[in-house]
Amino acid sequence: MSVNFPRKKAKILLVDDEKTYLDVLVDLLEKDYKLIIAKNGEQALKKSIVDYPPDLILLDILMPGADGYEVCRKLKKDSRTKNTPVIFLSALDEVEDKTKGFDAGGVDYITKPFQGKKVLARVETHVKIQELHRRLEEENTRFKTLAEAAFEGIVIHNNGWIIEANSEAKRILGRKANDFSGRNLMDFMPAECLDAVQKEKEKPWKGNIKARNEQLTPVEIRTKRMDMKDYPVHVTAIRDLSAQKLIENENKALQKENRALKDSMGERYKFGDLIGRSPQMQSVYELIARAAASEFHVVIYGESGTGKELAARTIFEMSPRNKKAFVAVNCGAITETIFEREFFGHRKGAFTHAEQDKKGFFDAANDGALFLDELSELKPAMQVKLLRVLENGEYTPVGDTKAKKANVRVISATNKDLFSLVQQGKFREDLFYRIHVIEIVMPPLRERKEDIPLLADYFLSRFSTPGNSGDTKPDYTQSSIIKHCVPGITGKMLDSMYQYEWPGNVRELQNFLQRFLATNQLTLPGEFSMQVEEEPGTCDGNLNKAIETLEHKMINDTLNKTGWHRGKTAEILNIPRRTLQRKMIKYGFRDAD
């Protein structure tokens, strides 16, 4: 049940330099209206904007200084009072005087001396009209707000003749506001959807409509009849199905591939150049596979050192664009002054020292991928320019007049929460929704410590190869975990590595292992600094023993945690129950009893 709160008294501004007439007006109106008195034009202009504009102005014509006509013209030029009705007061009753008053913006004319009933009737009529205008404006504002907030295109029409359309409808149809003036909605729609536009249907019409640029857009159309301003109208909703269709097509094409990939993912130790078999990394692998199979923009979140760029390169290398360029850009190193020429390139002579044409990042990454590392570091002005390219698919090199097409997939990375930055006003909301289609979060190493032995083995195998500084990567398969051994890593060291929190993540682990090979010491802050005894010319499997020590400890701890429930233990360790039973036999575990 709605409640109608009483509206406060209408406010009327009385303007007259003669006290006698002002007293008459006050006696007539003070009971029903809130009155403000002004004795000349200057006072009228000042008092008309105090608190809130008056609902009506009674304005004398003949006054010292500015006359009523001039005051009225100034009121109509002010956005605050332009819609306030003005009734002129004058002893002049000539047609010419009245016409001049209407030309100045007045709505009515009351002659002096006043007739009480006529004044009350005129005032009451115009106050009611003003109130109706106010309510109508509020309804229109409310409708426009709701329509603009809708995700569908909304068109209000009378049997097809357009009355109003929201911005989403203009976007879908590829039209500007003035294109709809005096037009029928069917001028922009295929003939087969006529019934869906003019009648209420149980099911929506689905098909394609052609925009001004000849591009076909799949849509869903549904119409509802309603009353507006005391006559029936039609409200047609046009829903853009482009994203939905694209996703459906992608899902159909990749359904078999994703199913096979998911079935085999559980036993994978390596995905591209990413290492790990923890549940967190298995989820990342699946998201990367989906991202690689699509053309949507991607944002990769994660702390420093978690492998965001490695994930981006893996997406690119698994995608159909992998024959083209992968261009990595550190956004933190780009300033506003060089943004355009770095991203869009420049022409010879565009500025001082521009001695030749130079391609920008978008040129270099054309048909490939542009990796924007630390995206959150872009300044607002730079975000606007990037958004324009992503929306229009075009950019103009500095010093050129011809736009170029940008067929580039953007993969971004950041260690900050972009949505939180949007809420704080530090990152553009429209750019966020443009690039934030697929989200991948790289887990920190402290949340996937079961991957530490795999990563240690991988890095040690790379760095210990003669002449390999880490740039050349040896073949790495699951069998290498068992066959490869590097002397010197003990179970105690591996256990300490497991206990350490790794604030620098995988990059920190890599650095420590490089330092271990260089100094023969493995130093973790606050943990230990241990000299390693080498056994020249031999390789007795110390790393394998260390891995077994850690595996024994993890199985023992998990069994105790679950009360020796083998099913729960296998689930937590992310291994099949048969594998757990085999390992329990290997390590000599017995039931708790």
DSSP 326: E
CATH 3.40.50.2300-classified regions of the chain = 11-144
CA distances from 55 to 5, 116, 317, 375 (A): 19, 20, 68, 52
pLDDT for position 310:
94
Helices (H) and strands (E) counted in the chain, each on its own, are: 22, 21
Non-local CB neighbours of 391 within 8 Å, separated by 6+ positions: 434
pLDDT for position 545:
67
CATH assignment of 11-144, given 3.30.450.90, 3.40.50.300, 3.30.450.20, 3.40.50.2300? 3.40.50.2300
Fold of 248-443: Rossmann fold (3.40.50)
pLDDT for position 473:
45
pLDDT for position 253:
60
Q: What is the 3-state secondary structure (H, E, C) of 479-497?
A: HHHHHCCCCCCCHHHHHHH
pLDDT for position 506:
92
Buried b (16+ CB within 10 A) or exposed e, 100-125: bbeebbbbbbbebebeeeebeebbee
pLDDT for position 9:
83
Structure tokens at 516: 């271990």
pLDDT for position 492:
73
Q: Quote the CA–CA distance of 172 and 239 in Å, as a whole number.
A: 9
CA-closest candidate to residue 48, choices 18, 76, 17: 76
Residue-wise pLDDT tens digits, 418-433: 999 999 999 999 999 9
H or E stretch at 60? strand 56-60
Contact 413, 308 (CB under 8 A): yes
Q: Quote the CA–CA distance of 583 and 575 in Å, as a whole number.
A: 11
H or E stretch at 217? strand 216-228
Residue-wise pLDDT tens digits, 28-82: 898 889 999 998 988 888 888 887 889 999 999 888 888 889 999 999 998 888 8
CA distances from 364 to 341, 354, 562 (A): 13, 18, 55
Structure tokens at 304: 């420093």
Q: In sequence order, what are the beta bridge partners of 207?
A: 219
Which pTM value belongs to this model?
Answer: 0.47
DSSP 208: E
pLDDT for position 7:
52
CA-closest candidate to residue 461, choices 478, 477, 484: 484
CATH 3.30.450.20-classified regions of the chain = 150-240
pLDDT along the chain (593 residues), means of 10: 52 90 89 90 87 89 88 90 89 79 88 86 87 74 62 83 84 81 85 87 86 79 78 84 75 57 56 87 90 92 93 92 92 88 83 80 92 92 91 86 88 93 92 92 92 85 59 41 46 78 90 78 59 42 66 82 84 84 79 44
CA-closest candidate to residue 297, choices 168, 413, 416, 219: 413
What CATH number does the domain located at 150-240 have? 3.30.450.20
Contact 185, 200 (CB under 8 A): no
Contact 122, 109 (CB under 8 A): no
pLDDT for position 324:
92
Structure tokens at 238: 């046009």
CATH 3.40.50.300-classified regions of the chain = 248-443
Contact 432, 422 (CB under 8 A): yes
Sign of CA dihedral 340, 346, 350, 354: positive
Q: Quote the CA–CA distance of 286 and 258 in Å, as a whole number.
A: 8
H or E stretch at 206? strand 205-210
CA-closest candidate to residue 291, choices 464, 79, 436: 436
Structure tokens at 591: 């039931």
